[in-house]
Amino acid sequence: MTASLVFVLNGPNLNRLGSREPEIYGSETLENVADLVSREADSLGLAVDFRQTNDEGELIGWIHEAVDRGADVVLNPAAFTHYSYAVRDACAMVTTSGAKLIEIHLSNPATREEFRHTSVVAGVATGTIAGFGSGSYLLALRALAR
């Protein structure tokens, strides 16, 4: 049986994890997170494609690719969470296609500045996991593997 494919996609500034506001995001780098994700995926029998971009258009292109390949998506939209209707519309294509999309965050945006309390993605996501650091990624994989 072929392992089911999951795109793990990361939005802007997440390539700076480790040095970016460590009091909020912790000291792990994105490379550390990718390693943890890869190990968890192996143990769950999932095939993972892990990517990061600072570019909205590139992220949308990857979401389209996930739809075309029938992949589930774990998405940390980063700041796009709060204002990108274009990312939201792309995410809606994932969930209306019958695949799953889990919105994740390292921090818990609900406890932070007011502008972070709105997610334009949440309404089209299968579910949301926030506040567990890199554990948010691993919990999302477990939810998809169930």
Q: For 65-84, give one letter per residue: b (16+ CB within 10 A) or e.
A: ebbeeebbbbbbbbebbbeb
x/- string (CB under 6 A) for ligand DQA, residues 51-80?
Answer: -------------------------x-xx-
DSSP code per residue over 77-122: -GGGGGT-HHHHHHHHHHHHTT--EEEEESS-GGGS-GGGG--SSG
To ligand DQA, the closest distance from the beta carbon of 65 in angstroms equals 21
x/- string (CB under 6 A) for ligand DQA, residues 88-127?
Answer: -----------------xxx-x------x-----------
Indicate if 82 belongs to the active site: no
Residue 127 structure tokens: 């579910």
Indicate if 105 belongs to the active site: yes
Enumerate binding residues for ligand DQA (CB under 6 A): 13, 76, 78-79, 81, 105-107, 109, 116
